[in-house]
Amino acid sequence: MTQRLHLVFGGELTDPSKNVFRNTDDIHIVGMFPDYASAYNAWKTEAQRTVDNAHMRYFIAHIHRLRDEEAAASPTEELGN
């Protein structure tokens, strides 16, 4: 079975209508989760904890979508070699 990792992270945004962090050094890494359900629960907990700050946002990144070992490398990835 394929593992589908998810990263939950968040921080304070410069503007609530944009996804630009005020300070990337202050990004809160909640953790890596083995499935969407557990990532969603962690995201919801953090989002509710910071609900009084309109500039705080938490996100779920689908890490499993970033790299497919079966697919050929992208041209951008090849530049690093």
Residue 10's CATH number: 3.30.70.2400
**Residue 18: inside a domain, yes or no?**
yes
**Residue 1: inside a domain, yes or no?**
no
Structure tokens at 48: 């509710």
CB atoms within 10 A of CB 39: 23
**Residue 26: inside a domain, yes or no?**
yes
> Please, are residues 46 and 58 in contact by the beta-carbon 8 Å criterion?
yes
Identify the residue whose tokens are 């589908």: 4
Q: What is the pLDDT of residues 12-70, one digit of tens each?
A: 999 999 999 999 999 999 999 999 999 999 999 999 999 999 999 999 999 888 766 66
**Residue 12: inside a domain, yes or no?**
yes
**Residue 40: inside a domain, yes or no?**
yes
Q: How far apart are CA 12 and CA 19, in angstroms?
A: 9
Task: Please give the residue range of the domain that contains residue 74.
Answer: 6-79
CB atoms within 10 A of CB 64: 14
CB atoms within 10 A of CB 50: 17
* pLDDT value at 80 more than 60: no
> Please, are residues 12 and 56 in contact by the beta-carbon 8 Å criterion?
yes
**What is the number of structural domains in the chain?**
1
